[in-house]
Structure 1
Amino acid sequence: MNRLRTLLFGLFFYGLSVPIVATVPVSALFGRQAVIAHAHVWAKMHRLLYRTIMGIRVRVEGHVPDGPVFYAAKHQAMFETLELQLLLGGPAMVLKRELSRIPLWGWAARRYGGIVADREASAAALRSMMRDAKALKAEGRSILIYPEGTRVSPGERPPLQAGFAGLYRTLAMPVVPIALDTGRVWPKHGAKRSGVVTIRLGEVIPPGLPRGEIEARVYQAINVLDDGLGAASGIMRG
């Protein structure tokens, strides 16, 4: 059954994604807000399909704060790259340079508010990333980063990439760490499974902390569900 559901999900999701992504240039003619609204149509389609075809529900623990913040999230699946855009109200996002080079999609992501990160970045590239992030902050946008720098399997805890601490210092924004367990139902390979996904928004961490302290606090908070410390109750989405 899971294999059949996964196949049906893929057919509908990728089939419907083609016209949505292909028409982004039209939205781009009307500015960034139009691109954000267009992208959220894609995310809402994803949400509808994972609920109806895959039988997945999302439990949210914690609260989305008022005002712009710097979100630092665990990354286990493509699932959260779309779901968090809806849950968090459309934050700008830090994305890998490889993604920004995908024809059409990469351009659309930049128009949405994509901040390009390069693991082997030159000083000029790092300055460009910081400059883009500050400009988006000035627009009143929250910023979302996956500070481990890559997708990981449940239980894996790689160290945070240096870019997180650099942005934290540059942006001087409060940080909201996000733990999640999407990899349990949405593995990188193989069939997806029905079940409940937990997304836990941690306590707000103030700006201005030393690098060692902010990295330690975020590292602990985004991995808290691996420790089995997630709250037993939350808000069910769908």
Structure 2
Amino acid sequence: MTAIRSVLFYLLSYVTTAVMVLVGIPVALASRRALALYARAWARILAAYARTVLGVRLKLEGTMPEGPVLYAAKHESAYETLLLLALIEDPVIVLKREIADVPLFGKLTRRHGVIPVDRSASSAALRAMLTAADEAKAQNRPVLIFPEGTRVPRGQRPKLQAGFAGLYGRLGLPVVPVATDAGLAWPRGFLKRPGTVRIRFGEVIPAGMPRKEIEAEVHSAINALND
């Protein structure tokens, strides 16, 4: 049954995404704000598939503040990516440059608002990231980053990537750490399991902290459900 549910979920997700990417082109031409609402609807549709087809339920903990903040989230699966896009109001998302360069889909992500990250870590890549951060700050929008850099299996706690501290300093925004245990129901690989996923919004961490302190606090907070 788990395999059948997973196959059905992926079929529905791929078809829905393909259709919405095509329809998203004229939406993007209409306005950036319209595309942001459209992307949020897409994320909510896929989250509904996860709930009804896979039996993956959501339990939210903590409070989401109003206004622009820097959300720093644990990344164990695609599930929290969808949920945070559905929950956060009009976020600018920090993501790998390879995704932003995908034909059609990448153009839509750039129109929506992203901060592409080049893993080469060159000085030019860092300057490009900070320039994109300045644009996000000027738009007065929240920013979402997965500071450990990539999806990790349940239980792993890699150190934060260097780009997080640079982004934190450049944006000058308070940080909301986001912990999750999504890897229990949504492990890497094809098969997903029914269950309840917790997403916890932690206490707001103020802007302007020294690098070592902010990294330590964020790393601890986003791994709060990892024990």
TM-score for the superposition, normalised by structure 2: 0.97
Deviation at 1:128, TM superposition (A): 1.7
Aligned: 1:158 with 2:166: no
**Number of residue pairs the alignment of both structures matches:** 227
Given residue 148 of structure 1, which amino acid in structure 2 is its aligned partner?
E
Deviation at 1:90, TM superposition (A): 2.7
Given residue 4 of structure 2, which amino acid in structure 1 is its aligned partner?
L
Deviation at 1:167, TM superposition (A): 0.5
CA distance in 1, matches of 2:180, 2:124: 33
Q: Per-residue CA shift, 1:36-88, capped at 9, x if unaligned?
A: 01111211210211111111111011000011100100001111111101112
1:149 matched to which residue of 2? Answer: 149
Equivalent residue runs for 1:55-134 within 5 Å? 55-134=55-134
Equivalent residue runs for 1:190-229 within 5 Å? 190-227=190-227
Structure 1's unaligned 5+ residue stretches are: 228-238
CA distance in 2, matches of 1:58, 1:138: 33
Contact 2:41 2:86 in 1 (8 A): no
Which of 39-48 and 170-179 deviates more?
39-48
2:188 matched to which residue of 1? Answer: 188
SS, match of residue 192 in structure 2: coil
Sequence identity percentage: 50
CA distance in 2, matches of 1:199, 1:192: 17
Q: Per-residue CA shift, 1:103-145, capped at 9, x if unaligned?
A: 1111111111111011213222211211111211221210000
CA distance in 2, matches of 1:10, 1:124: 37
CA distance in 2, matches of 1:28, 1:17: 15
Q: Per-residue CA shift, 1:140-176, capped at 9, x if unaligned?
A: 2100000011100110110000000000011110000
What is the root-mean-square deviation in Å for CA atoms of aligned residues? 1.0
Aligned: 1:40 with 2:40: yes
What stretches of structure 1 move > 4 A for 4+ residues in a row?
Answer: none
1:22 matched to which residue of 2? Answer: 22
SS, match of residue 23 in structure 1: helix
Which of 150-159 and 186-195 deviates more?
186-195
SS, match of residue 208 in structure 1: coil
Given residue 221 of structure 2, which amino acid in structure 1 is its aligned partner?
A
Structure 2's unaligned 5+ residue stretches are: none
SS, match of residue 95 in structure 1: strand
Q: Per-residue CA shift, 1:16-46, capped at 9, x if unaligned?
A: 1111012221111112101101111211210
Given residue 47 of structure 2, which amino acid in structure 1 is its aligned partner?
R
